[in-house]
Structure 1
Amino acid sequence: MLRALVVMLLLANLLALGWSQGWLDRVLGLHAEREPERLKLENHPERMTVLSPQAVTALQTRSCQELGPLAGDEGLRAAQAALERLGLGSADWQVLVRGEQGGLWVVATIKLGSAEFRARKEETYKRMKLNFEPLQGLPDEQPSLVLSEHPSEQAAASALAGYEQRALKGLRVLQLRAAQTRHALSLPRADAALTAQLQNLLASGREPALAGATLAACPAAPEAAAAASAAASR
């Protein structure tokens, strides 16, 4: 009886040792929580930085930031998609209208099918002291030269008639940009982290639709501005 008890205690000690050393992990399909493994999962105090009260306050401070201008519906959708990728939802911003951007029409040459044809056109315009530049955009209409830009199709047609009266042929009116609404997105409660993320996004140029947009503090409402002015004058 005593001998059997000693054998059982010895087996129990061996099992406990095997468990603690991980010898039975593969057999049992379980992993013992050994001290070295727990230490690897612990945080490293030496890597932590204690923030000053001022830094904590700055991180917690929220302010109204405005992202814009955003050209047309495409620019607005691109900006909203960028904010969603940062974890924001439609409840976190407000869509603002910041005016209208007029359309743009140009008087341009027909497509210049050869280098020789283009050289003859350029020589003619230089001789007549007419300014010209390569057409930008509208890949299907290139290569072409632009002689003038106009805010409306009617103005461009009038300019075309003037060129034709000077015996200039092979010209046409093209629309480079349709009239579109300029939007902005107001973020009423942007914290320091979000502000930094948006500034980095704009600086990186990763979002072509945001080209030309900036991030700035929201302009004060007229009532708030009047109240602040009155308080300052007292």
Structure 2
Amino acid sequence: MMRVLVLVLLVVNVLFFTWSRGWLDFVTGVPAEGGREPQRVGAQQRPERIQPLAASAVAALAQHSCLELGPLEGDAALAAAQAALKSAGAEAQVRSSEQPGLWVIATIKLADPEFRARKEETYRRMRLNFEPLEGLPAEQPAFVLGKYPTQAEATAEAASLDRRGLKGLRVLTLKAPQSRHSLVIPQADGLLAARLKAAKDPALAAGFKACSAAPAASAASAAG
């Protein structure tokens, strides 16, 4: 009987020693360190380490101003800027306008100097205004006989000139119509304004400037 008791005590001691070392934590589910583990103590807040905001930071938070980012040319630039502002924790309103395009009536390429000189003489004789084509290197050298705000107007005038005997004229897009946007933050506090102005994100390269609060019509277009 005594031997059995000694054997039981020995087994109990071995189990307790094993558990106290944490070797049975995964089996028992009860950590040996209980609520005294260093991880829990380390995670506790320490009031002596909490620092109040500096007076300058408090003052900056109290200051609010309207900031406008732009102009942003095209929808892709708008989407990139919206994503950058969202990452910075800023919500903005969209202001948009449509920029008109520009179409020209141009001659064929006039690489030969003599041929180009004959064309110039023809246009002077017909009292047509003309100028060198610029902005489209792949189509130069050539002359422009007119500029128009819509492709339809340019096409109609090119047809009219064709009926007058001027052949080989082309309608070229000098500038495609494009949406121009800006993003407005009506009430940016001083800390946010400083952070945004110091940001190096290429999507914000258009820069921020002071603005007036966005009108009610634009308020419905909050940046996603």
The interval holding the TM-score normalised by the smaller chain is 0.5 to 0.7
Unaligned runs of 5+ in 2: 1-55, 218-224
1:217 aligned residue: 211
Q: CA deviation at 1:60?
A: 6.7
What percent of counterpart residues are identical? 47
- Give TM-score scaled by structure 2 length: 0.53
AA aligned opposite 1:187: I
Query: Match of 2:110, SS?
Result: coil
Partner AA of 1:221 in structure 2: P
2:92 corresponds to: 94
Give the drift of 1:57. 5.2
Q: 1:126 to 1:92 in 2, by over 3 A?
A: farther
**8 Å CA contact 1:76, 1:183 repeated in 2:** yes
The answer on whether the counterparts of 1:68 and 1:185 sit within 8 Å (CA) in structure 2 is: yes
Aligned to 1:64: 66
* Distance in structure 2 (CA, Å) of the matches to 1:165 and 1:217: 53
Amino acid at match of 1:178: A
TM-score by length of 1: 0.51
What CA distance in whole angstroms lies between the structure 1 residues aligned with 2:141 and 2:208? 33
State the Cα distance separating 1:123 from its structure 2 match.
Answer: 3.1
Greater Rg by CA: 2
Offset at 1:90? 5.8
- Write the distance in 1 (CA, Å) between the matches of 2:133 and 2:60: 49
The separation in 2 between residues aligned to 1:136 and 1:151, in whole angstroms, is 17
Cross-structure match for 2:132: 134
Query: Aligned-pair distance for 1:157?
Result: 1.0
Taking the aligned partners of 2:209 and 2:136, their CA distance within structure 1 comes to: 30
The structure with the greater share of residues assigned to helix is 1
CA–CA separation in structure 1 for the residues paired with 2:152 and 2:72? 27
Partner of 2:160: 162
1:183 pairs with 178, 181, 184, which one? 181
- The CA RMSD over aligned residues, in Å, is 3.9
The one-letter code sitting in structure 2 at the alignment partner of 1:72 is G
Paired residues of 2:197 and 2:208 also in contact (CA < 8 A):
no
Provide the secondary structure at the position in 1 that maps to 2:159: helix
Where structure 1 has 5 or more consecutive residues not aligned to the other structure, the ranges are 1-52, 224-234
Q: Could you report, residue by residue, the CA deviation over 1:9-28 in whole angstroms, capped at 9, with x for unpaired residues? A: xxxxxxxxxxxxxxxxxxxx
* Residues 68 and 214 in structure 1, CA contact (< 8 A), matched pair in contact too: yes
Q: Which amino acid aligns with 1:123?
A: E
Post-superposition offset of 1:172: 0.7
- Partner secondary structure for residue 155 of structure 2: helix
